[in-house]
Chains A and B, each alone.
Chain A
């Protein structure tokens, strides 16, 4: 059932077994999995069906550090959440990403990847990508497309599976039809209210921008409103626990991580080069699916060099970046491949029309010049190391509800800088050792990060997972330490981020959390 807060009585109470805050990939996966088990679920979404400027503005805040984009531009408060703009890139975290690494402070998950693998399998089914295959050599043989052969002692191939799924439009029919699921739109959670003994959540206070106030009560609560707002909501709820819910050890909001990426080198290939639209671009497979190959550095070398995880992306020179209308055209094209229209179709078309010359030039580069090329731009995406000083706090400015806005202090450490520089040097060694070509560096060691740095809109780590409440906000079951019935879903629980796009892991963790909640409810 889908209902808007405008249709509900003022001061009415929403009741369910599980109340989920946020209708993005994490929240909707938990809802879908629980709904199949007959659990009564309420999903509270701050936005509606489509982006609304006044709702988006609620996510605005301040940035101290590299301010790449306004915060509100990195979130989507609407049904489907960030899957409305997701490019669909899926890859599992590496096994090593789950392990503690002596040279990466505060690294390691409470469990190994094997714990998550059944849920990765489920996540692949949810994404509906077929066949699930992360082996570059097999894709190369299957598609008859060449791939590089860098030195295996230094580098290896990774494959990302690309299939943009809109978690709302793809699941809306199921969830709307489910009698045990209520999705409430324009329902912004304003506070988490605890019992007197501070041991459990007793209710959520909810409001909409037209002044309506409600409450939501459930046996269990799941925060799934993104890597910034999960932490912000805990910090805002400071009436009983002065530092915010679950924040006795001052960990909430800390350890913020992103996936900074930047142009790090130019690869000049020997021989005949590679197809410009080969396996290193998004190679379209049909049925809305594509794959893309990246280069990684082997774990033993990363350990020896004491660097974090990285992904090296190759784009035929001149094809690496779409801006303005061209970017909008690419997004429209991706939607059309899925036989869908973007939620902001009018804006998208307007951008394309007003930037027609750039769109035409980009289209020519993309489609009319698909010969082999020898020059590729190397873009490095790094795993940002966990860092207590990189954090989300609250600032004095307030939003339309009078709530304090977020302030993001995005900080890098020496390990991040070393990773950024050494990674491309190591890739240069890998291609040189195999006589593939040479790489020219576009980064200098003394630079913090080059001007071309972008972020991936991957907000991670602010409610990190650890068995020790002094170093984590949630435990291995994603339950907030010290609060019996409050759970968190999303990339904010990642203790380390690896170099993989986070959504597949977010969906896998959400499916795992749904299993856990089902077991808890059954035991009651």
Chain B
């Protein structure tokens, strides 16, 4: 069960709540992880998404799905802020289109569930 505290802690991409780490990431994987949020809260929500089976349980597949969905983003984009903004637009678009999943009762956009699952399956940032 995802705790309410983790949602309040900024896990669920509630826009302004999450804070990007200082400095740009150097690798695409790090950039994506920095954009999604590399925190216990994010990983906890991601683990719940994986446990509920609502997203693919493969880090590469998840990242590819997200990159494919973000057609407006350059393939090698490494700026976490740009990725984050694009993910936000995708998340809102998913909600509006009904592309949602149910994770322990919480209704999440499919893309954000993928993003958190990706974070849960990734090694922490150095």
Contacts and interface: CB of A to CB of B under 8 A. Distances in A.
Interface of A: 151, 153-154, 266, 268, 270-271, 374-375, 425, 428-430, 432-435, 437-442
Contact of A441 (B91, B95, B105): B105
A271 B108 CA distance: 18
Contacts of B107: 425, 428-429, 432, 438-441
Most buried by B among A153, A266, A433, A442: A433
Interface residues of B, number: 23
Interface stretch (B8-16, B25-33, B52-60): B8-16
Interface stretch (B64-72, B76-84, B96-104): B96-104
A271 B12 CA distance: 12
A433 B96 contact: yes
> Is chain A's binding surface mostly helix, strand, loop or mixed?
mixed
Contacts of A374: 8
B51 interface: no
Interface in B70-126: 88, 91-93, 95-96, 98, 100, 102, 104-109
Contacts of A425: 100, 107
Interface in B10-45: 12, 14-17
B49 to A, nearest CB: 13
A432 B8 contact: no
A374 B100 CA distance: 22
B105 A429 contact: no
Given A438-B12, A438-B14, A375 B4 contact: yes
Nearest to B99: A429
Given A375-B4, A432-B95, A270 B17 contact: yes
Given A429-B98, A433-B95, A268 B109 contact: no
Interface centre among B8, B17, B108 (most CB of A within 10 A): B8
B10 to A, nearest CB: 9
A428 B14 contact: no
Given A435-B88, A435-B92, A441-B105, A270 B100 contact: no
Contacts of A270: 14-17
A151 B95 contact: yes
A438 B7 contact: yes
